């Protein structure tokens, strides 16, 4: 058989493609993934933890970090991988959120040393795990109490090499104390935190009377960042009853009269310092906040602090009300109490959460009592057997001594004293030195106490009320030992209305505005202009445009990056002819390299903006296209960028213009030939007959062109070829304002 040559190509036979119904794909591929995310990742369970939190804390507990010293965070992260098969970054980020220094939780579970960032800062990054140290906080004793007494189930870890608890037997409703949020597939969970002492008191009151008014002991959520909660009973009732809704939070501040500044020292839990400052700066640039001179982030070791310097004469109270309306200094925290109950996600109100937690905790205590009862019964049973040999110790010694084989010792004791195997085994294991009357009597002294304890435990198991009393007792102990004062102040009387401001009439005083080629803008009053009319410009700069208008008029600046900037003439300070004026790229916050190419006053937005491009096209855009209801300061896509802009005119009525081409031709036409467009980004229509190498060089008004024989150059249809401009047709040319 001939072998194939090396360079012979093999025929590719594609694998057969089989159709699969979308329903089958969803069922086999998507549904298992969705269930895994919901059940094992994103939604907290009744103990208040997600699986990642639980695995991390249990690992630290097994490492002896509850009573031991600090250890490197990297050690904990590495050990946690035995239960949580994820990367170290994900595990460490979970740990950061549980630490005291990060200030995410009202009752943090991890004592920390080092930089763990802050929940109220977006840019304050936490240090790497090799630099920080952690241990379990004392309150974790309430998470793991009696965990080794069969109060919760244990399951194999992911590779069946060790066991881990399915839930932690928390002695308080941590599900309400610890803020938690997660996004699953098709659902999400966002649980706000409540004060630990208030939750414990509320749970105890609920156990005593399920119809108790929860608001008496649990008035509102509590947050680590403090602030003020705007108390709206209806909104809170919706959250408490349905598990959905939102609460409004507001920053706390104080006014330093000596330095004329406001200090914000507590902010809403749902925002960050950087988000607040960015928003204030944005509003200041848009001239919507003129009362602020400067704003700084002065957060340090002493805590959070945002310093706001005020301009002279500013009312701090009125300004703060304005900031509450316009910035995240007042924000809403959404609530969505989705919790896994017995493996099923349910949306629960606060009362329902307390009901489920009490039922679950009751089962934990019952299992613990049952475990203790079994241990004490076993001990009592052994002591009953020891009691039977008390009257004849010598006989027990004789049986053991005369037994020839070791395996026969236990059976012989069972026969000799009529005891069972466990009792006989216990007696046989007693050391020789302890086979005396005194030792046995001491052991038997426990019998009475054990019998009483067994009776007490059996009574508890048969009385649900007794189990509930144990839970209440533990709740009161937790509240007393670990309770802390509220951080978020409840504001029952507040106003969200805008403060009454005496708005003065718009400043309609006449002014003259000047724009230079390099982007300097000046607003000069008639009095100042009469004193000195000669304008000063930078060396190499010159006047581009000037208008007589009023301080209340709106002005629009077009830039070389096809953007428009809108503002009021009154936003600029009055200046003198001898000054350079405001540099618009800096004043308006333009992008790097952006320059102003045209300025116009839209008035009541009834005119048209006429733009001419180098490729011979012109766009007539209705001024209304630049009128926005949202008062945006910057408009992107202000005009087409398909070809460089040559000239621009703002027309309130149609007039005659003169176009000049690069090959020396001139065309006179009326702007009525151009149909107005409502789209700012239109590329326009052809006004100059396109020929290879022909470009539009400049455009001017007909009366400024100086053409003496206009009929030769006038066209009645577009596009036009124009005519070569003869020297005898050109008179005295006036200065134009072309760009």
* Listed residue (212, 181, 215, 184) closest to 198, CA to CA: 215
CA 371 – CA 373 distance, rounded (Å): 5
Q: Mark which of 122, 143, 169 sits at the end of a domain.
A: 169
* Res 631: pLDDT: 58
Q: Which of 464, 482, 500 is the last residue of a domain?
A: 482
Q: Name which of 253-257, 388-392, 629-633 the model is least confident about.
A: 629-633
Question: Which CATH number fits the domain that encloses residue 582?
Answer: 2.120.10.90
Statement: residue 406 has pLDDT above 90: no
Quick check: pTM over 0.85?
A: no
- Give 735's pLDDT tier (boundaries 50, 70, 90): very low
**Would you state the pLDDT for residue 476?**
95
Q: Are residues 157 and 268 in the same domain?
A: no
CA distance 329 to 273: 9
Same domain for 517 and 661? yes
* Residue 534 shares a structural domain with residue 647: yes
Domain boundary, last residue among 112, 140, 169: 169
Q: Is the dihedral of CA 71, 73, 79, 84 positive or negative?
A: positive
We report the CATH number of the domain holding residue 294 as: 3.30.1360.40
* Contact between residue 336 and residue 188 where contact means Cβ atoms under 8 Å apart: yes
Q: Check whether 734 has a pLDDT greater than 60.
A: no
What integer is the mean pLDDT of 41-60? 94
**Claim to verify: residue 566 and residue 682 sit in the same structural domain:** yes
Residue 163's pLDDT band, with cuts at 50, 70 and 90, is very high
Residues 532 and 679 in one domain: yes
Reduce the secondary structure of 193-258 to three states and give it as a string: CCCHHHHHHHHHHHHHCCCCCHHHCCCCCCCCCCCEEECCHHHHHHHHHHCEEEEEEECEEEEECC
Pick 504 or 650 by higher pLDDT: 650
Specify which residues 700 forms β-bridges with: 658
- Residues 631, 574 share a domain: yes
Cis link prior to 316 (omega < 30° from 0)? no
- Is pLDDT of 550 > 90? no
Per-residue pLDDT tens digits for 305-346: 999 999 888 899 999 999 999 999 999 999 999 999 988 999
CB 322 within 8 A of CB 289: yes
Tokens of 215: 């608001």
Of 7-21, 389-403, 410-424, 610-624, the one with minimum mean pLDDT is 7-21
Name the band, by pLDDT with cuts 50, 70 and 90, for residue 288: confident
* Domains of the chain: total: 4
Given the DSSP bridges, would you call strands 292-297 and 306-310 parallel, antiparallel or unpaired?
antiparallel
Backbone angles phi, psi at 40, to 5 degrees: -125, 15
The whole-angstrom distance between residue 192's C-alpha and the CA centroid of its chain comes to: 14
Which range among 196-205, 583-592, 665-674 has the greatest average pLDDT?
A: 196-205
- State the pLDDT confidence band at 538, using cuts at 50, 70 and 90: confident
* DSSP per position, 550-565: ETT-EEEEEETTSEEE
Q: What CATH number should be reported for the domain holding residue 165?
A: 3.90.199.10
Phi, psi angle pair for 664, to nearest 5°: 85, 15
Q: Order of strands across the sheet with 71-72?
A: 71-72, 133-136, 110-113
- Selecting among 33, 58, 61, 131, the annotated active-site residue is 131
Give the whole-angstrom CA distance, residue 520 versus residue 516: 5
Tens of pLDDT, residues 429-443: 877 777 777 777 777
Residue 36 falls within a domain, yes or no? no
For 681-704, the pLDDT digits (tens) are: 888 888 888 788 888 888 988 888
Number of other CB atoms surrounding residue 347 within 10 Å: 14
Are 83 and 114 in contact, with CB atoms under 8 Å apart? Answer: no
Q: Report the range of poorest mean pLDDT among 3-12, 83-92, 692-701.
A: 3-12
Q: Supply the mean pLDDT for the chain.
A: 88
360 φ/ψ angles, rounded to the nearest 5 degrees: -70, -45
Question: Domain check: are 680 and 591 in the same one?
Answer: yes
117-126, 159-168, 416-425, 557-566: the lowest-pLDDT one: 416-425
d(CA 451, CA 19): 71
Half-sphere exposure of 94 (CA within 13 A, CB side): 24
Where does residue 577 rank: exposed (0-12), middle (13-18), buried (19+ CB within 10 A)? middle
Percent of the chain with pLDDT over 70: 95
Token pair of 448, please? 């009475």
What pLDDT does residue 7 have?
53
CA dist., res. 143 & res. 64, Å (int): 14
Looking at the domain assignment, is residue 666 inside a domain?
yes
Q: Are residues 445 and 515 in the same domain?
A: no
Confidence (pLDDT) at 578: 85
**pLDDT band (50, 70, 90) for residue 738:** very low
Structure tokens at 264: 């914000």
Contact 117, 88 (CB under 8 A): no
Residue-range definition of the domain harbouring residue 309: 252-328
Question: Which comes out higher in pLDDT, residue 578 or 391?
Answer: 578
Residue 2 has pLDDT above 60, yes or no: no
Q: What is the pLDDT of residues 358-382, one digit of tens each?
A: 999 999 999 999 999 999 999 888 8
Question: What burial class does residue 723 get, using C-beta atoms within 10 Å of its C-beta: 0-12 exposed, 13-18 middle, 19+ buried?
Answer: middle
With vertex at residue 493, the alpha carbon angle to CA 491 and CA 497, rounded to the nearest 5 degrees, is 110
Tokens for 174? 């941590």
397/467 same-domain check: yes
Please state the φ and ψ torsions of residue 374, each to the nearest 5 degrees. -65, -40
CB-side neighbour CA atoms (13 Å) of 550:
8
Q: State the Cα–Cα distance between residues 185 and 404, nearest whole angstrom.
A: 71
Rounded CA gap, 170 and 147, in Å?
9
498 pLDDT exceeds 60?
A: no
- Whether residues 456 and 542 share a domain: the answer is no
pLDDT of residue 336: 94
The first and second tokens of residue 248, run together, are 């409004």
Q: Which residues pair with 490 in a beta bridge?
A: 229
**Average pLDDT of span 508-536:** 85
Same domain, 572 and 474: no
Is there a single domain that holds both residue 534 and residue 578? yes
In angstroms, how far is CA 679 from the centroid of its own chain? 37
Q: Is 131 among the catalytic positions?
A: yes
Helix 273-285 × helix 316-326 angle, to 10°: 100
* 8 Å CB contact between 350 and 176: yes
* Residue 129 forms part of a structural domain: yes
Residue (of 710, 686, 604) closest to 650 by Cα position: 604
Is 32 among the domain residues?
A: no
Decide if 181 is inside a domain: no
Confidence tier at 357 by pLDDT (50, 70, 90): very high
| Stretch 407-424: mean pLDDT | 85
**Mean pLDDT confidence for 488-516:** 69
Q: What is the pLDDT of residue 18?
A: 76
In the numeric block, which tokens belong to residue 131?
A: 């630099």
Q: Looking at the DSSP assignment, which residues form a beta bridge with residue 668?
A: 658, 714
Read off the DSSP letter of residue 299.
Answer: -
Task: Specify the pLDDT at position 496.
Answer: 61
Cβ distance 248 to 290 under 8 Å? no
What are the two backbone dihedrals, phi and then psi, of residue 139, each rounded to the nearest 5 degrees?
A: -65, -15
DSSP state of 349: -
- What is the spatial distance between Cα 424 and Cα 409, in angstroms, rounded to a whole number? 9
Residue 505 has pLDDT above 50, yes or no: no
* Number of residues assigned to the chain: 739
CB 523 within 8 A of CB 507: no
**Residue 632: predicted pLDDT:** 61
Average pLDDT over residues 32-42: 83
List the one residue out of 717, 450, 102 whose CA is nearest residue 94: 102
Pairing relationship of beta strands 608-613 and 617-622 according to DSSP bridges = antiparallel
410 in any annotated domain: yes
Give the residue from 647, 667, 651 showing the smallest Cα distance to 718: 667
pLDDT at residue 571, as a whole number: 81
The tokens for 2 are 């001939």
Query: Is residue 24 in some structural domain?
Result: no
What is the average per-residue pLDDT within 623-640? 79
**Does 240 reside within a domain?**
no
CATH number at residue 369: 1.10.268.10
User: Under a CB-based contact definition with an 8 Å cutoff, are residues 290 and 312 in contact?
Assistant: no
Query: Is the pLDDT at 499 greater than 60, yes or no?
Result: no
Residues 238-275: pLDDT tens digits? Answer: 999 999 999 999 999 999 999 999 999 999 999 999 99
Burial class (CB in 10 A: 0-12, 13-18, 19+), 91: buried
Of 318, 257, 258, 253, the residue nearest 290 (C-alpha): 318
């Amino acid at each position: 058989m001939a072998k194939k040559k090396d360079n012979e190509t093999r025929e590719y036979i594609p694998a057969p493609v089989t159709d699969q119904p979308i329903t089958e794909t969803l069922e086999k591929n998507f549904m298992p993934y969705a269930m895994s995310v919901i059940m094992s990742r994103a939604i907290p369970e009744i103990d208040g933890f997600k699986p990642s939190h639980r695995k991390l804390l249990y690992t630290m507990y097994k490492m002896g970090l509850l009573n031991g010293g600090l250890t490197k965070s990297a050690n904990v992260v590495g050990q946690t991988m035995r239960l949580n098969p994820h990367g170290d970054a994900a595990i460490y980020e979970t740990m950061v959120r549980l630490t005291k220094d990060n200030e995410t939780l009202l009752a943090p579970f991890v004592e920390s040393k080092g930089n763990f960032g802050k929940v109220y800062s977006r840019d304050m990054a936490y240090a790497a795990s090799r630099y920080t140290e952690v241990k379990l906080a004392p309150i974790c004793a309430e998470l793991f109490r009696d965990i080794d007494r069969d109060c919760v189930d244990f399951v194999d870890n992911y590779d069946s090499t060790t066991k881990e608890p399915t839930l932690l037997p928390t002695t308080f409703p941590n599900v309400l104390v610890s803020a938690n949020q997660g996004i699953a597939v098709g659902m999400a969970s966002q649980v706000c935190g409540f004060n630990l002492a208030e939750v414990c008191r509320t749970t105890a009151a609920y156990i005593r009377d399920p119809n108790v008014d929860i608001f008496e002991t649990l008035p509102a959520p509590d947050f680590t960042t403090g602030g003020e909660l705007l108390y709206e009973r209806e909104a809170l009732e919706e959250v408490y009853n349905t598990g959905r809704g939102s609460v409004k939070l507001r920053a706390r501040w104080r006014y330093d009269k000596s330095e004329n500044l406001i200090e914000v020292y507590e902010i809403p839990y749902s925002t960050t310092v950087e988000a607040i400052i960015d928003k204030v700066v944005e509003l200041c640039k848009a001239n919507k906040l003129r009362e602020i001179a400067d704003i700084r982030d002065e957060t340090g070791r002493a805590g959070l602090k945002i310093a706001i310097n005020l301009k002279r004469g500013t009312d701090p109270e009125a300004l703060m009300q304005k900031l509450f309306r316009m910035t995240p200094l007042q924000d809403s925290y959404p609530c969505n109490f989705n919790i896994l109950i017995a493996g099923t996600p349910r949306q629960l109100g606060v009362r329902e959460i307390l009901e489920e937690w009490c039922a679950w905790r009751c089962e934990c205590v019952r299992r613990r009592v049952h475990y203790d009862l079994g241990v004490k019964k076993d001990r009592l049973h052994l002591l009953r057997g020891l009691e039977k040999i008390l009257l004849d110790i010598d006989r027990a010694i004789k049986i053991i001594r005369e037994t020839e084989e070791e395996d026969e010792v236990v059976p012989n004791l069972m026969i000799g004293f009529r005891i069972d195997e466990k009792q006989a085994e216990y007696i046989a294991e007693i050391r020789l030195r302890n086979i005396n009357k005194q030792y046995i009597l001491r052991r038997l002294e426990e019998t009475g106490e054990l019998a009483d304890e067994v009776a007490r435990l059996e009574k508890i198991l048969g009385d649900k009320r007794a189990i509930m009393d144990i839970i209440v007792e533990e709740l009161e102990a937790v509240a007393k030992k670990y309770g802390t004062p509220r951080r978020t102040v409840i504001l029952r009387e507040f106003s969200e209305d805008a403060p009454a401001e005496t708005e003065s009439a718009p400043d309609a005083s006449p002014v003259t505005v000047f724009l230079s080629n390099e982007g300097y803008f000046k607003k000069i009053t008639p009095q100042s202009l009469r004193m000195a009319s000669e304008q000063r410009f930078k060396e190499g700069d010159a006047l581009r445009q000037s208008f007589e208008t009023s301080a209340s008029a709106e002005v629009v600046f077009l830039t070389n990056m096809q953007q428009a900037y809108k503002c009021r003439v009154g936003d600029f300070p009055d200046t003198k002819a001898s000054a350079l004026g405001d540099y618009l790229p800096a004043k308006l916050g333009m992008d790097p390299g952006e320059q102003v190419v045209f300025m116009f006053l839209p008035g009541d937005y009834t005119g048209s903006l006429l733009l001419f491009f180098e490729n011979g096209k012109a766009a007539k855009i209705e001024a209304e296209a630049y009128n926005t209801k949202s008062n945006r300061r910057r408009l992107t896509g202000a005009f087409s960028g398909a070809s460089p802009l040559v000239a621009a005119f703002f027309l309130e009525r149609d007039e005659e213009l003169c176009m000049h081409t690069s090959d020396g031709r001139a065309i006179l036409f009326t702007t009525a030939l151009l149909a107005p467009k409502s789209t700012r980004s239109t590329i326009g229509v052809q006004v100059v007959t396109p020929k290879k190498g022909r470009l539009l060089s400049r455009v001017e008004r007909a009366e400024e062109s100086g053409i003496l024989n206009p009929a030769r150059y006038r066209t009645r249809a577009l596009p036009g070829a124009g005519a070569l401009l003869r020297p005898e047709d050109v008179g005295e040319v006036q200065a134009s304002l072309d760009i």
